[in-house]
């Protein structure tokens, strides 16, 4: 079997579903509108900033905030994209077909995850195309843009893995989407209380996704942050695989 | 076709003491039977007798609690990947992806079964022609009628020319003409050396296409014998005796 047979199948299903197209169109239109507003604001303040050579540039004022908006949208979009990947198969009764084709649970999960990841990275690439379209007209801080892009890619990959895991556990896609949204929001804001109490370190802050994404959006790449995202992805996919394997046992 | 395990003397399928519980009760208990190549085995039984559970285990969609399944001499539970090439499975209600077309279904099943490029194209064209699916090739599975869904499910099961064909109520929702065509197709497969196991409620289906019949009751095998097309009445009597009393009555003296 081709290692990407499940990916190909899932990718095809994603592309023919109106939901993926509608979400992509709406979010990209929203991001383009905001990009235009931020660009206008950047251009109108260009003269004042000319007096501060070390002041914030195009990437700080337009590129990273645009990616920040994409991150906010991702909390809603990713659960909607991932909700049907396994829960939908379960509802259609097509999951046993994959088992009966001799595809192991791990490969089903990985195949579906790669398809979702492909969609999410395409979404990120289309968003990035907006600031990149101006690369020849203004100064670009490539390092900061690369770090922020890496952060967003890791965040999308993590939310995608959580979404796939929720879809593996839920019997209905809507339950999967709700669970993925709640888990993602909880992961983002788990340290809010601690921060309000003035605690800026410690385990509770380490647990929060925001603690690992914000440094990357500021251009600081650290191995700890990358490992945090990687751990979460592996954990979510392992749980999804376990659940699918149990499904085959229980049917 | 070269089979993954070439133990030519071995039956295509051998079940040994197969058991499985479902919903807290034994669905299949200590089931043992074997099926040689080119034979059509009909699995009969009332609702809840364990037919679909048996077929799900044979197809690799459900793991048995105990017992063994040997496919062409190889341990299927140890090597579940054998299903990819060897088994074609049509579950009771052909499960389909509603957002994919008929043609895309065949491609997806082909990829899952390891077919690619020219081989996939050739297999897809052949099965579309054989099951007369040309007018439906570009239609979404979600809008197909029940009979059309069944035909597509059958096409997916046959696409990779499996050595063991597992059919669960294949005549469901088919019209009489399609039922006749299905019977011809099953006999063709058997003549080509494919072992076929099919579950059905229809005794006429068994006498028309099966070489052998196994009757399940309460998850256990109560009867396993050859079928002759002219002994429909005898099969009917055996079936009802098992359905009513749990076992066939001894033959009455003439």
CATH code of the domain in which B69 resides: 3.40.50.300
A9: nearest CA partner in chain B? B108
* Residue length of chain B: 254
User: Among partner residues B80, B99, B111, which is closest to A5 by beta-carbon distance?
Assistant: B111
Q: How many cross-chain Cβ pairs, A to B, lie less than 8 Å apart?
A: 82
Q: Per-residue DSSP letters for B98-120?
A: TTSBHHHHHHHHHHHTT--HHHH
- pLDDT-derived band at B173 (thresholds 50, 70, 90) equals confident
CB contact under 8 A, B60 and A13: no
Q: Are A100 and A90 in contact (CB under 8 A)?
A: no
Confidence of residue B249 (pLDDT cuts 50, 70, 90): low
Indicate if the pLDDT at residue A1 is higher than 60.
no
Q: B5 lies in a domain? A: no
Would you state the pLDDT for residue B22? 86
| Bridge partners of residue A137, in order along the sequence | none
Residue B26 within a domain = yes
Chain A positions touching B104 (Cβ under 8 A) are: 12
Q: What is the pLDDT of residues A88-143, one digit of tens each?
A: 999 888 998 999 888 999 999 999 999 999 999 999 999 999 999 988 888 888 99
Chain A residue numbers touching B59 (CB-CB < 8 A): 96, 100
pLDDT (0 to 100) of residue B254? 35
Per-residue pLDDT at B231: 77
Contact between B81 and B3 under an 8 Å Cβ cutoff? The reply is no
Q: Does A96 touch chain B (CB under 8 A)?
A: yes
pLDDT exceeds 90 at position A147: yes
* Full strand arrangement of the beta sheet holding B25-35: B25-35, B13-22, B66-71, B74-75
Task: Give the pLDDT score at A190.
Answer: 86
Looking at the 3D structure of chain B, how many domains does it have?
1
What pLDDT is attached to residue B54? 95
The alpha-carbon gap from A125 to the nearest alpha carbon of chain B, in Å, equals 26
Contacts of A17 in chain B (CB under 8 A): 99
User: Which residues on chain A are in Cβ contact (under 8 Å) with B86?
Assistant: none
**Which pLDDT does position A198 carry in this prediction?**
74
Q: What is the pLDDT of residue B7?
A: 46
Q: What percent of chain A has pLDDT over 90?
A: 71
Evaluate whether residue B97 is within a structural domain. Answer: yes
Cβ pair A101:B93 closer than 8 A:
no
| Average pLDDT along chain B | 89
Q: Does any domain span residue B159?
A: yes
Q: What is the pLDDT of residues B105-133, one digit of tens each?
A: 999 999 999 898 999 999 999 999 999 99
pLDDT at residue B253, as a whole number? 41
List the Cα angle A78/A83/A86 in 5-degree steps.
130
Structural domain containing residue B118: 13-245
Does the distance separating the beta carbons of B112 and A101 come in below 8 Å?
yes
Per-residue model confidence (pLDDT) at position A140: 83
Find the range with the poorest average confidence among A148-152, A232-236, B7-11, B167-171.
B7-11
pLDDT at B1: 46
Please say if the pLDDT value at position A9 is more than 80.
Answer: yes
Percent of chain B residues past pLDDT 70, beyond the cut: 93
Domain assignment of residue B35, yes or no = yes
Residue B251 within a domain: no
CB-based burial, A132-151: b 16+ in 10 Å, e otherwise: eeeeeeeebbeebbebbbbb
Quick one: pLDDT at residue B90?
94
Which chain A residues are Cβ-neighbours of B98 within 8 angstroms? 92
Summarised one tens digit per residue, pLDDT across range A53-86 is: 777 888 889 999 999 999 999 999 999 999 999 9
Distances (CA, A) of B170 to B5, B194, B236: 28, 16, 20
Closest residue, chain B, to A91 (C-alpha): B95
**pLDDT score of A251:** 63
> Which residues of chain A lie closer than 8 angstroms to B82, CB-CB?
102
Give the pLDDT of residue A51: 72
State residue A3's pLDDT score.
62
The ipTM is 0.82
Higher confidence at residue B49 or residue A51? Answer: B49
Q: Searching chain B, which residue's CA lies closest to the CA of residue A93? A: B95
Domain-embedded: residue B4: no
Identify the pLDDT of residue A39. 93
């Amino acid at each position: 079997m081709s290692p990407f047979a499940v990916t190909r199948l899932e990718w095809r299903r994603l592309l023919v579903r109106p939901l993926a197209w509608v979400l992509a169109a709406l979010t990209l239109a929203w991001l383009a509108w905001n990009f235009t507003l931020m660009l206008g604001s950047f251009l109108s303040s260009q003269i004042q900033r000319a007096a501060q050579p070390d002041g914030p540039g195009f990437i700080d004022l337009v590129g990273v905030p645009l990616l920040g908006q994409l991150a906010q949208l991702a909390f809603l979009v990713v659960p909607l994209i991932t909700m049907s990947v396994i829960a939908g198969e379960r509802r259609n009764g097509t999951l046993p077909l994959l088992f009966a084709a001799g595809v192991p649970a791990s490969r089903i999960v990985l195949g579906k995850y790669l398809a979702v990841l492909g969609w999410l990275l395409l979404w990120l690439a289309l968003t990035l195309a907006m600031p990149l379209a101006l690369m020849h007209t203004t100064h670009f801080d490539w390092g900061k843009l690369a770090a922020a892009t890496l952060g967003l890619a890791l965040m999308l990959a993590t939310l995608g893995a959580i979404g796939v895991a929720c879809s593996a556990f839920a019997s209905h896609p809507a339950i999967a989407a709700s669970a993925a949204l709640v888990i993602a929001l909880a992961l983002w804001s788990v340290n809010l209380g601690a921060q309000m109490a003035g605690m800026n370190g410690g385990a509770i802050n380490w647990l929060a996704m925001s603690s690992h994404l914000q440094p990357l959006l500021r251009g600081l790449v650290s191995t700890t942050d990358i490992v945090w995202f990687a751990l979460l992805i592996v954990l979510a996919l392992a749980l999804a695989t376990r659940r699918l394997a149990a499904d085959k046992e229980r049917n | 076709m070269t089979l993954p395990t070439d133990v030519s003397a071995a039956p295509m399928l051998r079940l040994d003491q197969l058991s499985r519980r479902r919903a807290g009760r034994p669905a299949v208990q200590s089931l043992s039977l074997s099926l040689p190549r080119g034979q059509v085995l009909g699995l009969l039984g009332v609702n809840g007798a364990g037919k679909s559970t048996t077929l799900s285990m044979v197809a690799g969609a459900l793991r048995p609690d105990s017992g063994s399944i040997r496919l062409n001499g190889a341990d299927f539970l140890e090597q579940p990947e054998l299903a990819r090439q060897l088994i074609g499975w049509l579950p009771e209600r052909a499960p389909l992806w509603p957002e994919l077309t008929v043609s895309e279904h065949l491609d997806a099943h082909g990829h899952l079964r390891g077919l690619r490029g020219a081989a996939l194209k050739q297999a897809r064209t052949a099965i579309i022609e054989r099951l007369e699916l040309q007018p439906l090739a570009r239609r979404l599975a979600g809008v197909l009628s029940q009979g059309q869904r069944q035909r597509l499910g059958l096409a997916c099961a046959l696409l990779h020319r499996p050595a063991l064909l597992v059919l669960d109520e294949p005549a469901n929702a088919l019209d009489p003409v399609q039922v006749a065509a299905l019977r011809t197709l099953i006999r063709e497969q058997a003549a080509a050396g494919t072992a076929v196991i099919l579950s059905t409620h229809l005794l006429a289906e068994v006498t028309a296409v099966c070489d052998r019949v196994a009757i399940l009751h309460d998850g256990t095998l109560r009867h396993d014998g050859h079928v002759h097309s002219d002994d429909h009445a005898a099969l009917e009597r055996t079936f009802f005796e098992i359905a009513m009393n749990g076992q066939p009555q001894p033959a009455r003296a003439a």
